Structure 1
Amino acid sequence: MREEKVILVGLQTREEDSHFNYSMGELAQLVDTAGGEVVMTFTQKRNTIDSRTFVGKGKIQEISRAAEETQAQTIVFNQALSPRQVRNIQDVIEAKIIDRMQLILDIFAMRANSREGRLQVELAQQEYLLPRLVGQGVNLSRLGGGIGTRGPGETQLESDRRYIQGRITDIKKELKKVSAHRERIRQRRQDQQVFQIGLVGYTNAGKSTLLNALTQADTFEEDTLFATLDPLTRQYELGSGMEVTLTDTVGFIQDLPTELVAAFQSTLEETRNMDLLLHVIDASSDYIEIQEETVVELLEDMDSHHIPRLAVYNKADLADADFVPQLSPHITVSAKDEEDVLRLHEAVEEHIKEILVPYRRILPAQEASELAHMQKESLVTQWSFDDATNEYIVEGYAKPSSKWVT
């Protein structure tokens, strides 16, 4: 299938060149992930956004000529466009006009595999499009689909407002049912005293690779943005024998559409209920500080900043020799290196000890079967059998509400 030709447009309204350049580079990556080919990039420096056409009138004319010369089908703006701006730009440019938010929604539509994921994406798409219905018909019919028009709701993009409002109501009802099911599973894990670990981080930091390395799972890995969309939970057995869960979550990104955050609320709540977060960071990224800051801010927005966190600087094999981690506590690894993975196993176990409380229990010999349960449900550090008293002496760590502690 031939790639869609795309022109990128960015407006710089502040002095931080590094942030702007990073954002534009990321936009190009997003287009690539969506199956497009960037044929040209336009940038402009202005004190304020043009309320009519986002960038200046002259720049719009310039982009229009470039679109004709390169036969670009789509123009992607790096910031959110208002409905009025889209209509005014369409009056000049004979190509499909979308913004960064619509592009991200499009990628999520491509990546959603579960029923819940597809419903969440459609909800986000419909809520994003509802205030932008006027003019979308012209915009999206020009090229009959492609980037920015994919997903569960694509056939309804030009439908009337009443239909879309009804669809939004229906999806929210369906998601409530799915969310209730997810909550029951979550509550069952908590009732069973299962220790839960979440993998969070900027998109493409290597979370899925680490999940596979730690749990010997076989989940989808790809060097692309948003390779994982649906949260995936795997059982993870520590060296002590304790069984915990490890959940891979959707990658974070700058300027995540608010519609997407709202639609994925039940999924993102998985993070809020974790006992420990492994914040996975790409140590080889040239923009590591921006990525760290984005994740930390989003965790605060989701009320997850209070959860104990271990920064895992991944891709150490690709990092500069003088790389120095900034977040603490931290560990630097390569998910592809077996020795590094072993070190990470040990670091995770040590952090779990800090979160749990120590206990010491004495078991009569006839309750020997309980020892196996203790090793699975708590972190047993040592045990011995006293021949004189015919008893097991067990020491370890468990949740405060665990029966081994109380």
Structure 2
Amino acid sequence: MAVFPTEKPSKLERAFLIGVQTSDMPAGEGTELLAELKELVENLRLTVVSSTLVKLRSPTPALLLGSGKAQELAALAKADGADVIVFDEQLSPAQQRNWEELTGLAVIDREEVILEVFADRAHTREAVLQVGLARMEYSLPRLTRAWTHLSRQRGKGALGGEGETQLEQDRRIVRDRIAHLKAELAEVVQQRGVQRRRRLRVPVPTASIVGYTNAGKSSLLNALTGATVLAEDKLFATLDPTTRQLQLRGNQKLLVTDTVGFIRRLPHRLVEAFKATLEEVVVADFLIHVLDVANPDFEKHHATTLGVLQELGAADKTILTVFNKVDIAAPEMLARARHLVPDGLFVSARTRAGFDVLETRCVELIADSFGSTELLVPHDRFDVVARLHELGDIQEQEHVDGAVRIKGRFPAAQSAYFAPFVVAK
């Protein structure tokens, strides 16, 4: 039996947005977040009929806002013909229920909007499972919003008794579904571990592209590797991680993975649900943090990404900061970027400007992690020479008496293979 507890009436088309500016938020942040919410809502193909920003001194348990303000906003939403109210603030299940009773309209919060956008964009089995798990966990305490027959009870047959209420039954079904999704995700994580171990048999350095949503991560991957990952000017254009091989100078290979974009107030349950996808970030040799330098809020996007990396346990990774879209950025934006990250790189995924410097820096980071080794390989072991070219970055190669002298950087995991030929480290 399928249960869809977050289902709304079939005709949700017109949204009324409510943003919140609290006393502990920097000036103007409420307005910025409300604009971001508008883009998120429009990604769900809803029409935003109106939006308003409310200054909140202290939240109330029942409605978040004061009752007078709530009634005023309810009247505005109805006057604008809205059929759904969207809060740019997390609502408790009770607050959502109270708002729906007050207005007679569907009421959702930022977290549910993000969950719906993710659900709309999920394609692979893993992404679908992860979004399904996050939605079910969000829905469990909110089942009373989704059913109108919750007081109905079912008897226990010949045993009699009051029976199990519909709400209890629905909760049990959702809990069973959560357990099933977690089991399926565990299988996916195990499969990814097997695939990773296979890759490590012929180890190639890895880098993960991270950053705020719509910063140009997929465009950068496409431009670097010739991939064809979906890259559109919208939030969360792609959720599924994509790994492609980048060929650097000296026959050095690098596996580059594009990951899901981050966003301010990313629901914690999504961070947890996407651990399987984002573990590529945790195991990467280094991270490429992409920022849209043409976006006036890139400093906040920088802080958001670092915060999510902290949650993932990846904050101590080597991070290469890349400011994208320099071809459309104003000079003052570039100056702000240099102040924020003095050693950051400046590129354009569209024009490929700055790619030479970016690729050189990647080679340097790989070299730092691999170290330099000199080997002497006999002429009758060209299989070893070929293998060394596959494994690492060859810096020097020359033929000497009866052998090939090679100097380069090779993965430590393969040290046993080339140990017999090592001259010096």
Structure 2 distance, partners of 1:354, 1:212, is: 26
Structure 1 residues 107-140: Cα deviation after superposition (integer angstroms, max 9, x where no partner): 01011000111111111000011011122336xx
Structure 1 residues 377 and 18: alpha-carbon distance in aligned structure 2, compared to 1, 3 A threshold: farther
Say which SS state the counterpart of residue 341 (structure 2) adopts: coil
* Partner residue in 2 for 1:402: 414
- Give the fraction of aligned pairs with identical amino acids, expressed as a percent: 35
The SS at the match of 1:312 is strand
Is residue 184 from structure 1 mapped to residue 221 from structure 2 by the alignment?
no
Q: Is the 8 A contact 1:193 1:377 kept in 2?
A: yes
Q: Distance in 1 between the 2:238 and 2:327 partners?
A: 23
Asked if the contact 2:30/2:53 (under 8 Å) is kept, the reply is no
- 1:310 is aligned to 320
User: What's the counterpart of residue 12 of structure 1?
Assistant: 21
> Residue 125 of structure 2: which of 115, 122, 126 is its match?
115
Residue in structure 2 matched with residue 194 of structure 1 by the alignment = 204
Counterpart secondary structure, 2:266: coil
Amino acid at match of 1:86: Q
Give 2:37's match in structure 1, choosing from 27, 32, 37: 27
Gaps of 5+ in 1: 139-156
Does the residue aligned with 2:215 lie in a helix, a strand or coil?
coil
Question: Which residue in the other structure is 2:382 paired with?
Answer: 368
Larger-gyration structure (1/2): 2
- The counterpart of 2:65, out of the listed 39, 55, 65, is 55
Cα displacement string for residues 3-51 of structure 1 (whole angstroms, at most 9, x for unaligned residues)? 8221111221125123222211111111122212222112111211122
Pairwise CA distance, 1:78:
0.6
CA distance in 1, matches of 2:352, 2:94: 55
What does residue 394 of structure 2 align with? 380
Residue 158 of structure 1 deviates from its aligned partner by: 12
Q: Which region of structure 1 is more displaced relative to structure 2, 286-295 or 51-60?
A: 51-60
Residue 245 of structure 2 corresponds to residue 235 of structure 1? yes
Q: 1:159 to 1:198 in 2, by over 3 A?
A: farther
Deviation at 1:187, TM superposition (A): 2.2
Given the two structures, how large is their TM-score scaled by the length of structure 2? 0.86
Match 1:263 to one of 261, 267, 273: 273
Note if contact 1:5-1:39 (Cα within 8 Å) is conserved in structure 2. yes
* Equivalent-residue separation in structure 2 for 1:285 and 1:43 (angstroms): 22
- In 2 relative to 1, CA 115–186 (structure 1 residues): closer, same or farther, beyond 3 Å? same
SS of corresponding position for 1:92: helix
Letter in 2 for 1:332: F
Deviation at 1:359, TM superposition (A): 1.1
Corresponding residue for residue 342 of structure 1: 356
CA distance in 2: counterparts of 1:158 and 1:4, whole angstroms: 32
Alignment CA distance shift 1:17-1:359 (3 Å):
same
Report the more deviating stretch, 162-171 or 332-341.
332-341
Aligned counterparts, 1:47-196, within 5 A: 47-137=57-147, 160-196=170-206
Match in the other structure for 1:154: none
CA contact (8 A) 2:288 2:321 kept: yes
Q: What secondary structure sits across from 1:236 in the alignment? A: strand
Q: Which moved more, 1:277-286 or 1:184-193?
A: 184-193
State the Cα deviation string for residues 60-88 of structure 1 (Å, max 9, x = none).
22222222222212111011101111121
User: Contact (CA 8 Å) 2:12, 2:83: kept in 1 or not?
Assistant: no
- 1:67 and 1:84 map into 2 onto residues whose CA distance is 20
- The equivalent of 2:283 in structure 1 is 273
What is the aligned-residue RMSD (CA, Å)? 2.1
Q: CA deviation at 1:97?
A: 0.4
CA distance in 1, matches of 2:414, 2:33: 47
- How far does residue 342 in structure 1 lie from its aligned partner after superposition? 3.0
Task: Evaluate the alpha carbon distance shift between residue 240 and residue 339 of structure 1 in structure 2; reply closer, same or farther with a 3 A threshold.
Answer: farther
Q: Which residue of 2 aligns with 1:222?
A: 232
- Is the contact made by 1:232 and 1:247 (CA closer than 8 Å) also made in structure 2? yes
Match of 1:247 among 250, 253, 257: 257
Matched residue of 1:133: which SS? helix
Letter paired with 1:367: R
Q: Report the alpha carbon displacement of residue 99 of structure 1 after superposing the two structures with TM.
A: 0.3
Shift of the 371–337 alpha-carbon distance from structure 1 to 2, 3 Å rule, reads farther
Cα distance between partner residues in 2 of 1:41 and 1:236: 45
In the TM superposition, what is the alpha-carbon distance from 1:405 to its structure 2 partner? Answer: 6.7
Structure 1 residue 242, shift from structure 2 partner = 2.0
What is the one-letter code of the residue matched to 2:409?
A: Y
- Judged with a 3 Å threshold, the aligned counterparts in structure 2 of structure 1 residues 95 and 405 are, in CA distance, closer, same or farther, namely farther
Query: For each residue in 1:191-214, what CA deviation from the matched residue of structure 2 results, as whole angstroms up to 9, or x when unmatched?
Result: 432211111111111110011011
d(CA) in 2 for partners of 1:43, 1:57: 16
Pick which of 57-66 and 122-131 moved more. 57-66
Name the SS of the counterpart of 1:373 in structure 2.
helix
Measure how far apart 1:400 and its partner are.
2.7
